[in-house]
Amino acid sequence: MYQESKNLASIQLVNYDQLFRDDPDAYVIECGADTILMKDQMTQHKLLFFQDGSKDLTNISSCDCGHITGNYMTGCTCPLCHTVCKTNFAEELKFRAWLEIPDFLPPVLHPAVYLVLDNWLGSFNKSSGRILEVLLNPDLPLPEEYQGTLGQGFEFFYKNFDNIINFFATQYKKLNTPEYRKKTVYVLQLLDKYRDRLFLRHMPSLNSSLHLSTQSGSITYSDNVVKYIIQAKIELHQLIYVHFNATCADNYMDKRMLTMYQAFLEYTTAILNEKLLKKPGFIRKHLLGARLYCSARAVIVPLFDIHDYDEIHIPWLMAVQVLKLEIINVLMNRMGKTEPEALEIHRRALAQFDQTVYDIMNTLVQECDCVSSSGKHGLPVLMGRNPSLRLGAIFLLFATKIKPEYEDATVGISSLVSSAPNFDFDGDAMHLLFVKEMGEVPKYQHIHPSNTMVASSDAMISPDVQITDQAALAINRWLLADQLMKQTTQGENKNAE
């Protein structure tokens, strides 16, 4: 029954308390010290939550002076600066710093469970606040009809959680209507499945490698998301200080605890919406948007001279950079250059046009085994435009020409293959991946433009190719006639049998 709910069945709650106990490197952020100066607090927060972002965040190992680089040099000591070669990116992005709720306070609800319950319970009515918020916040009015049944505050909510859930599941009319009854069953099954981790005493902060701070003069720029966990830390610090050093009103602890908990909820929400999923977020920037070796991205322009539909022209700088190893190989093994001489020639070609390098790249094109549709030799390239899920969004094309103009940074491409990737020439950029292993090229033939000629659902010319109406009409007529003939032949054979 639980597995029937696609949304709730996909939820797998992390046991934060167990995660904290199992990690020997995890530590609790100190919140019990006396109040300290604001300046000292900022220094403390920077050490706790941030990593210095002044240097490029990279997973490539290097010493401090940059004399030795590469992950194969990890652990070696640089002979110049005498520092160990290592990466400034965490080897494992585990939670390290944790906020711990002391025993004199009740534990808080798991943030994922809070979202599920808040969505399930909704509001008492249009004029009142969200039910879950009303139950936790003693400053919000509880409707009169529930004042003898329900209480407010974190302590009451934690100690009476099962009774509160049972009340809403069995006696709250709205959740027992046909519209909500099935959802209620799923919520109860979720709570029962993860009963051991619904409440937590340890709230994690992201690894500092994901929170960067940089300094420009006297101004420090920091990650905007981390402000929420810092706010939660400040509120928890205040709670602990007041508990041991002062007296307070009855609702004071609940109010401050609500502020702390809301800051933690904001932190988890901001991590999901900003840190992970948005364009500058971790997933889109470092995983989905990660660059491969021998890849490039450039603005496209149309080819005007006579060309094949599967042909592209590559700009100078892109070709020099992508074909670096091949150029150096030719310089050393065919032209007798030493390694320093070959590297110098390549570096010079990155700054200006070099006839020797141009001739080498043209030789590489001519010696390539791959050919375009009309027989021109070309370097195999996978070229596409996001989103790349549909057929034809990525094509196997052939780079038949290297543009000698140093200032030209555009890729020339045929307008005949514009339909499937849905590009035009108003500044659209395409990504390219150069295929260096010739034996792998046949595996990509299924995304060659010729294989999008016929529609996948019918024997008709696909709308993903650009040909004249007359040609499309003639080919469609031939395809339909051929299909009809095959069907007639199959029918006659079946009747004969």
- Contacts for 246 with CB less than 8 Å, ≥ 6 apart: none
CB atoms within 10 A of CB 232: 24
What confidence score (pLDDT) does residue 35 get?
Answer: 47
Q: Are 417 and 426 in contact (CB under 8 A)?
A: no
Q: Provide the residue range defining the domain that includes 432.
A: 295-452
CATH at residue 434 = 2.40.40.20
Angle between helix axes 355-367 and 339-349 (nearest 10 degrees) is 100
Distance CA 310, CA 321 (A): 23
Terminal alpha carbon distance of the chain: 52
**Which amino acid, residue 289?**
G
In-domain check, residue 486: no
183 & 207 share domain? no
Q: Which residues contact 1 (CB under 8 A, 6 or more apart)?
A: 185, 186, 189
Do 300 and 271 belong to one domain?
A: no
For 213, the 3-state DSSP assignment is strand
Q: Is residue 260 domain-shared with residue 381, that is, in the same domain?
A: no
Judgement on whether residues 368 and 389 belong to the same structural domain of the protein: yes
Residue where a domain terminates, one of 193, 219, 238:
193
Tokens of 65: 């002076």
User: Domain boundary at 138, 167, 193, which?
Assistant: 193
* 3 occurs within a structural domain: no
- Walk along the chain (497 residues) and give the pLDDT tens digit of each residue: 334 455 555 668 889 999 999 988 888 888 755 545 445 566 666 666 766 554 444 567 778 777 887 777 788 888 888 888 877 555 566 778 889 999 999 999 999 999 999 999 988 877 777 899 999 998 888 888 888 889 999 999 999 999 999 999 998 888 888 878 888 888 898 899 999 999 999 999 887 777 766 555 665 556 778 888 888 888 888 888 888 887 877 788 888 899 999 999 999 888 888 777 666 666 666 665 656 778 888 899 999 888 888 899 999 999 999 999 999 999 999 999 999 999 999 999 999 999 999 999 999 999 998 988 888 999 999 988 876 666 677 889 999 999 999 999 999 998 888 777 778 888 888 889 899 999 899 988 888 887 766 555 566 666 666 666 666 677 767 777 777 776 677 766 666 66
- Note the residue count of the chain: 497
Q: Mark whether 90 and 146 lie in a shared domain.
A: no
- Count of structural domains within the chain: 3
pLDDT at 245: 84
Domain contains 226 = yes
